[in-house]
Amino acid sequence: MKKVYLETFGCQMNVSDSERVATSLASRGFEITPNEELADIFLLNTCSVREKAEHKLYARVGRIRNSGREKPVIGIMGCVAQLEGETLFKKISGVDFVIGTKAVGRVKEAIDRVLDGDRDVADLGERERNYDWSVSDAQRNSPYVAFVPIIEGCNKFCTYCIVPFSRGREVSLPASEIIRQVLELRRQSVKEVHLIGQNVNSYRPPSGSEPSAVAGGLTQSIDNSGLEKFRGATPFSKLLRAVAATGIERIKFNTSFPRDFHADIVDAINENENLCNWVHLPVQSGSNRILKTMRRGHTIESYLKKIDNLKASKREISLTTDIIVGFPGETVEDFEETVKVVEYCGYDAAYIFKYSPRPGTPAFKMADDVTAEEKTERFQRLETVQRNSQNKALRRYLNKTLEVLAEKPSSRVAEQLSGHSTCHKVVNFQGSAAMLGKIVNVKISEIKANSLYGEVAGIQ
Ligand code: SF4
């Protein structure tokens, strides 16, 4: 049996694709190995959102090629594969096959062709109509947490971003398929599902498969939940209610697009305990001028209105964000606007990036006029502002009891477990293997930079 070593870079969508590729290969005669020394086939699932992804890929393939053993089959999938296509065969010596972002259901066919002696095999075609979106429990990264894609691609074309080109236009999955998957995951004892998509709340199901139109015995409970009374609500908030009605213990969703983040999403969270109290809402900049150049589709005023609404929720919703510093044309004044937004919002976490031009995006043609030193300075300053604001914000958890899903033994300390709270904070606590997969009440006794620590106060 040929052994496949699968390595994933980038976002949750890539992680999710890899899980389904592993499931498909394992069911079709391959063994997925965590040990690269034993691998006959390397499959690298790549990300192109940041600069140098391609250089990292060259280096990684070079290391595999020069590892002193007989050269394994090497395949590239993900966004770099989609964007570069067959040119990768010329750019990186040793690559045997390339699989585009929509062709992940045909990895086995590509491997078979290479094993049969074909060279430079590329499949950048469309997704097959009967593509299987399910993931077996054996191939998921966690037995207790599962990613469920509900929409792929992006129609927004922010000027700095390559995703609309690498992932194509937005396509939403039928609500019936999503509900079927969540019910199946619940049957497999999964405790937490993450509904994922580049812009999860832009969900627009194909007509006839709206959450309230899902038919059959599977969804009786959903019909009973009274979805009809939410006629006029956004499809995403209806979907959230439908998924909540499956009774799965916890539901998180990521990433939200600010322009499409409507008040009915907060209403759904307020009304359903199993919709978790965490929202990731990327602001990217605090300056309206820069937001316009980024073509983000929101103003800072409209964004802050949504933040105020989230803060007014009775659920105490944890907020996180993404920010780019040093975008073309960003002045000191623009940057100071971003600092103000960070101070105002009190994010539990912010992922701050220095702008780097991505070939193929509209911003690539703009003058990258903020110097590297200025970008570093702004990055460090914003990090300090965020750290101070975060320290203050996280203190609200001190002495509180949080519900934590015990996911795995801590990598650092023996007899310590690690998991996420409903507000998506990493929480570490003393615990035994018997607690894994359970929701544990943890009383928080210590706030660390990126995690919380506490003592078990009970198991649910
Ligand atoms: S919304 Fe903008 S940043 Fe997000 S994936 Fe689409 S283009 Fe990229």
Domain assignments of the chain as residue spans, ordered by start: 3-123, 142-276, 309-396, 398-459
Distance 164 CA to ligand 1 centre (A): 7
Predicted pLDDT at 225: 43
* Sign, CA torsion 253/258/260/261: positive
Q: Is the CB of 56 under 6 A from ligand 1?
A: no
CB 414 within 8 A of CB 378: no
Query: What is the number of alpha carbons within 13 Å of residue 271 lying toward its C-beta?
Result: 18
Out of 11, 171, 198, 200, mutate this one to test ligand 1's pocket (max ligand atoms within 8 Å of CB): namely: 198
CA 363 to chain CA centroid, nearest Å: 24
Out of 47, 156, 170, 171, mutate this one to test ligand 1's pocket (max ligand atoms within 8 Å of CB): namely: 156
CB 429 within 8 A of CB 442: yes
Distance 411 CA to ligand 1 centre (A): 33
Distance 52 CA to ligand 1 centre (A): 19
Q: Do the domains at 142-276 and 398-459 have one common CATH topology? A: no
Q: Is the CB of 164 under 6 A from ligand 1?
A: yes
Distance 358 CA to ligand 1 centre (A): 13
Task: Name the burial class of residue 193, with classes exposed (0-12), middle (13-18) and buried (19+) by CB atoms within 10 angstroms of its CB.
Answer: buried
Distance 8 CA to ligand 1 centre (A): 20
Distance 161 CA to ligand 1 centre (A): 6
Distance 155 CA to ligand 1 centre (A): 8
Q: Is the CB of 156 under 6 A from ligand 1?
A: yes
CA angle 279, 195, 224 (to 5 degrees): 100
Residue nearest atom 8 in ligand 1 by C-alpha distance: 161
Q: Is the CB of 154 under 6 A from ligand 1?
A: yes
Q: Which CATH architecture has domain 309-396?
A: 2-Layer Sandwich (3.30)
β-bridge pairing 31-32 and 41-46: unpaired
Counting from 1 in the atom list of ligand 1, the atom nearest the Cα of 167 is 5
Q: What strand order describes the sheet that includes 192-196? A: 145-149, 192-196, 250-254
Listed in sequence order, the DSSP H helices in 135-187 are: 163-166, 175-187
Weakly modelled stretches of the chain, pLDDT under 70: 208-231
CA angle 285, 289, 391 (to 5 degrees): 20
Q: Is the CB of 349 under 6 A from ligand 1?
A: no
Q: Is the CB of 257 under 6 A from ligand 1?
A: yes
CATH code for residues 3-123: 3.40.50.12160
Of the candidates 350, 351, 423, which has an alpha carbon nearest to the alpha carbon of residue 444? 423
Distance 120 CA to ligand 1 centre (A): 31
Distance 310 CA to ligand 1 centre (A): 22
Counting from 1 in the atom list of ligand 1, the atom nearest the Cα of 284 is 3
Q: Is the CB of 202 under 6 A from ligand 1?
A: no
* Sign, CA torsion 135/141/143/148: negative
Counting from 1 in the atom list of ligand 1, the atom nearest the Cα of 155 is 6
Buried b (16+ CB within 10 A) or exposed e, 91-102: ebebbbbbbbbb
Q: Which CATH architecture has domain 398-459?
A: Beta Barrel (2.40)
Cis peptide before 255 (omega within 30 of 0): yes
Distance 337 CA to ligand 1 centre (A): 22
Predicted pLDDT at 148: 96
Q: How far is CA 123 from CA 1, 15, 97, 127, 130, in A?
A: 24, 20, 8, 11, 17
Q: Is the CB of 103 under 6 A from ligand 1?
A: no
Distance 292 CA to ligand 1 centre (A): 14
Q: Is the CB of 199 under 6 A from ligand 1?
A: yes
CB 252 within 8 A of CB 265: no
Q: Is the CB of 297 under 6 A from ligand 1?
A: no
E-assigned strands of 47-181?
A: 73-78, 97-99, 121-123, 145-149, 151-152, 171-172
Q: Is the CB of 163 under 6 A from ligand 1?
A: yes
Quick one: three-class SS letters along 321-351? EEEEECCCCCCHHHHHHHHHHHHHHCCCEEE
Predicted pLDDT at 133: 87
Predicted pLDDT at 136: 81
| Segment holding 353, helix H or strand E | strand 349-354
Q: Is the CB of 362 under 6 A from ligand 1?
A: no
Q: State which fold the 142-276 domain adopts.
A: Transcription Regulator spoIIAA (3.30.750)
Q: Is the CB of 198 under 6 A from ligand 1?
A: yes
Distance 353 CA to ligand 1 centre (A): 15
β-bridge pairing 401-409 and 439-447: antiparallel
Distance 304 CA to ligand 1 centre (A): 19
The answer, as to whether pTM is greater than 0.95, is: no
